[in-house]
Structure 1
């Protein structure tokens, strides 16, 4: 799971039940991930792109989303969640059960919910014989200082969880 070299073939089928140190560290910084949930209306899969996600511990991820977003409604109806993470020269599928910890973080200037994902399985899903050579980058398109301030407030709320 951790090495894209000659051992990668043997590790591609390896399943982890917690975040290994490299993935835990990757989820301590701002990064773009995709989150898959089950749509509460159609019953089909749906994808969300987010950047407010952090590893709380090796078994738990926390993410923030607008409380009016479909991701919040979907998790309230069906807890199955998958996070797609590009890190450590590979692609990972992190699956588990999500729970909305709070739908209203009073300390934030925008209506934000905190969601917690209990990790049940992590798989290296990169196709054989390749590696990720550049991770996706994103840029906030609104006021830079306001974005930095809001990012810091959201990260603090993720650390506090339901107590935010």
Structure 2
């Protein structure tokens, strides 16, 4: 059902955002003031109002959030597409116990909107493969997700 609006993460979103998945994030570009969209995968919903994600601490995402904390996550799940609006804060410039220089960002969820166009549903969710060492990727993913869960 399109155009539903909620103030919190609905149960299917909360459940799906407790694991790594393909998500896009829109921020306000700190130089141009225009939209900036990126794909991320290290994401974790702590509760109905709180989402954490990890990105390279030199990322434009981090720079953008430091200038303007308004963000929108776009996620495809539950046979639909959702837009999650919120305010982001940099929780840690450098995550501990992770070998990469990753920043930890917290989003305070303000609005969740079902933005799927009328009369349709998603039949296949986005999937991706890690193109580097699978064992190293799994180890890194565990380290990042464990740190976000502890936040």
TM-score (norm 2): 0.97
CA distance in 1, matches of 2:19, 2:94: 23
1:107 Cα deviation (Å)? 1.0
Given the alignment of the two structures, is residue 131 of structure 1 paired with residue 117 of structure 2, yes or no?
no
Aligned-pair Cα RMSD in Å: 0.8
Structure 1 outlier segments of 4+, above 6 Å: none
Partner of 1:92 in structure 2? 82
Question: Any conservation in 1 of the 2:24–2:75 contact (CA below 8 Å)?
Answer: yes
- 1:72 aligned residue (56, 59, 62): 62
Structure 2 gaps of 5+ residues are none
CA distance in 2, matches of 1:142, 1:13: 39
* Equivalent pairs, count: 151
Q: How does 1:13-162 map to 2 (within 5 A)?
A: 13-161=3-151
CA distance in 2, matches of 1:77, 1:160: 26
1:159 Cα deviation (Å)? 1.4
1:29 Cα deviation (Å)? 2.0
CA distance in 1, matches of 2:82, 2:139: 30
Q: What secondary structure does 1:76 align onto? A: helix
- The structure whose Rg is larger is 1
TM-score (norm 1): 0.90
CA distance in 1, matches of 2:14, 2:54: 17
CA distance in 1, matches of 2:141, 2:56: 13
Q: What secondary structure does 2:135 align onto? A: helix
CA distance in 2, matches of 1:56, 1:137: 23
CA distance in 1, matches of 2:108, 2:67: 16
